[in-house]
Amino acid sequence: MIQPLGVILAGGQATRMGGGDKGLLILGDRTILSHVIGRFDPQCAGLALNANGDGRRFTNLNLPIIADSIPGFAGPLCGVLAGLDWAADQGASHIVSAAADTPFLPCDLVPQLQLAAENSPSGMALAASPSGRQPTFGLWPTALRDDLRAALLGGLRKVVLWTSRHGAATVEFSDDAAFFNVNTPADLDQARGML
């Protein structure tokens, strides 16, 4: 299988953490984002970071920084759209997305999503775990970017509503911890224990 391009979604406002970039918080000897990159990068043909505001704060990552094209922090689908536009400009057929605050993401995320997508008419797949859907982890075809743009401009914000329209497949990962995300200071303490 051809490795898709990867997009790390860091475009939110981190309100439960008090603002700022959750991915830049220290976990062990490096940032949360460094953990994400370490697990995600080997699975992808290249990575970009979806982030809003001044991209210079991520200069040391040496990744393309892509901002939402729809203003107002309208949710993860805006980050997916930014990634699809970026990937389409490079001639890629798909992207895989992952959240910037999930330091333990599965090391087989991409191949499992690709296998699941074979059962989807649109070539789209989303991750799930025993605790439920993990909609920020998905395989997305660039061919649907204009459809997604129209849906977002029409006010749609829920990932599952849009992906259901396109028959997205689901792959269930057995480990909830793989999708543990750091939203609060207490979560960061828990992640330190998990590390």
Per-residue pLDDT of the chain (195 residues; tens, 9 = 90+): 789 999 999 975 544 444 568 889 999 999 999 999 999 999 999 999 999 988 889 988 999 999 998 887 678 999 999 999 999 999 999 999 999 999 999 999 999 999 999 999 999 999 999 999 999 999 999 999 999 999 999 999 999 999 999 999 999 999 999 999 998 899 999 999 998
pTM: 0.93
Long-range CB pairs of 85-90 (<8 Å, 24+ gap) are: 85/145, 86/5, 86/7, 86/48, 87/4, 87/5, 87/7, 87/142, 88/142, 88/145, 90/5, 90/46
Residue of 134, 136, 115 whose CA lies nearest to 177? 134
The 10 Å CB-count burial string (b at 16+, else e) for 127-162 is: bbbeeebbbbbbbbbbebbeebbebbeeebeebeeb
